Amino acid sequence: MTNIRSRIRPQRPAIVASLHDAVRPARLLLVAKTTLAVGLAWVVAPHMPGVTQEYPYYAPLGALVSMYPTLMGSMRSSVQTLLGLATGIGLATIVVITVGPTWWTIPVVVGVGVLLSGTNWFGAGKEYVPMAALFVLIIGGQNADDYSLGYLTQTAVGVTIGLLVNIVIAPAPLTLAAAARVDTFRDQLSTHLHDIGNAVTESWPPEHQQWADDAASLAETTSGLRAALADADDSRRGNVRARGGRGETQHVHAELASLDRIAHLIRDISDATADTIWDRPGALRLDPALPGPLAAACHAVADVIAQREPDSAEAHRVRADAARAVRLLLETVDDRTIEARRTMGPGVLSAMHLRRILILCGTGKSAED
């Protein structure tokens, strides 16, 4: 039991985050719209004319596959699904009107469907190419024509209902959620730089090294944020709730680009510091005079990164303090380089990167003074 708890404990933040994502307002709205669309599709399906009313269960399926968090995503998924179904039904039809379904034609046509689904022509509908072909040949059997018509028509009915629900109850643009994640990333970068500042002043080697392990996750976080911003952009297309410039993302893209560059610089500082602390290959010794000013500069610049209102009086004060701390670090590096007649190793790299971070945070010339 203790073993299981020790394994679960590190996963708790990810589990909590996943549960939080599942009950976000935007997700709950999607749940409600999906429920409504599936219910409406099931009510409408039995009233379809002709033979199609014999296959009502495909209408709720069509409604389900059409429901995406964004309107454009729903349209893409719907069109791709119908295209995949039509292609699969077409493959099965060729078999039906030629040699018929046999022990070898069924696996062959499924194989062709899987092959076609790998072309990236069908997007979200790629899995339906071999599936539709298989269903028509096995379930349709002698009534393949009627089955194909009912399958495609009822799915189209469900897709149409799903799109109508998504249009009438338009999802809110995802800009605010993406911006909140970017703000969280800003806090993560600030915390990481604080951890580096703490590490260089601890007894060596430091008792904890989570900060060094966390550096590798910064790139993954950036990639996830780009995907979230792409979804936010997608959520505005064709969305009546995004008219009049509401939910624009240009400023969030610019902020993420800046934080991405800052993340690369912090990773370099983290790697160089970790190399020195644990005497890895390529490490350069940290002069005894540098940990103090290096830690102070890291903490000061971390406070700058955490500022969310760069034009406020508090932000200007924090930036001025950070510029002085970096300047003191540079002076210490210069003095010790002359006195010791050797490179100051991670002190030089860290000083350069901290200056660049200040410039990226909007310090302008103050970082150069």
- What confidence category does residue 208 fall into, taking pLDDT thresholds of 50, 70 and 90? low
Of 34, 76, 43, give the one whose Cα is nearest residue 166: 34
Q: Same domain for 191 and 164?
A: no
Note whether 158 and 261 are same-domain residues: no
The structural domain count of the chain equals 2
Where among 168, 193, 225 does a domain terminate? 168
pLDDT in the model for residue 17 = 59
Domain with 336 in it: 175-367
Residues 157 and 196 in one domain: no
For the stretch 136-169, pLDDT in tens is: 999 987 788 899 999 999 999 999 999 999 888 8
Residue 99 has pLDDT above 70, yes or no: yes
Instruction: Tell me, yes or no, whether 262 and 320 share the same domain.
Output: yes
**Do residues 125 and 259 share a domain?**
no
Residue that finishes a domain, picked among 107, 141, 168: 168
Based on the fold, state whether residues 218 and 143 are members of the same structural domain. no
Taking the C-alpha atoms of residue 313 and residue 318, their distance in angstroms, rounded to an integer, is 9
Among 168, 184, 219, which residue terminates a domain? 168
pLDDT over 60 at 4, yes or no? no
Four-CA torsion 80, 127, 122, 253, nearest 10 degrees: 80
Tell the burial category of 91 from Cβ atoms under 10 Å away from its Cβ (0-12, 13-18, 19+): buried
Do both 262 and 133 map to the same domain?
A: no
DSSP secondary structure, 48-92, as one string: -SGGGGG-TTHHHHHHHHH--SSHHHHHHHHHHHHHHHHHHHHHH
User: Could you tell me the CA-to-CA distances from 359 to 19, 137, 323, 353, 362 in Å, in that order?
Assistant: 38, 65, 10, 10, 5
Residues 209 and 134 in one domain: no
pLDDT over threshold 80, residue 232: no
Asked if 301 and 327 count as a contact pair (C-beta separation under 8 A), the reply is no
Same domain, 317 and 211: yes
pLDDT at 365: 41
Same domain, 18 and 59: yes
Nearest to 139 by CA among 99, 92, 78, 105: 92
Q: Which residues make Cβ contacts (< 8 Å) with residue 61, sequence separation at least 6? A: 155, 158
pLDDT band at 284 (very low <50, low <70, confident <90, very high): low
> Does the pLDDT value for residue 364 go beyond 50?
no
Query: Could you report the per-residue pLDDT of 6-48, keeping only the tens digit for each?
Result: 555 545 555 665 676 677 777 888 899 999 999 999 999 999 9
- Our CA dihedral for 336, 338, 344, 347, rounded to 10 degrees, sits at 60
- Comparing CA positions, the residue from 244, 233, 78 lying closest to residue 167 is 78
Contact predicate 295/197, CB 8 Å: yes
For residues 302-307, give the mean pLDDT. 92
Contact 319, 363 (CB under 8 A): yes
Q: Given this model, what pLDDT does residue 211 score? A: 56
pTM: predicted TM-score of the whole model, two decimal places: 0.65
Burial 293-302 (b: 16+ CB within 10 A, else e): bbbbbbbbbb
Are both 207 and 344 inside the same structural domain? yes
List the CATH number of the domain containing 356.
1.20.120
Q: Are 28 and 156 within one domain?
A: yes
Alpha-carbon span 229 to 206, nearest angstrom: 37
**CA-to-CA distance for 41 and 57, rounded, in angstroms?**
9
The angle that helices 250-277 and 175-199 make with each other, rounded to 10 degrees, is 20
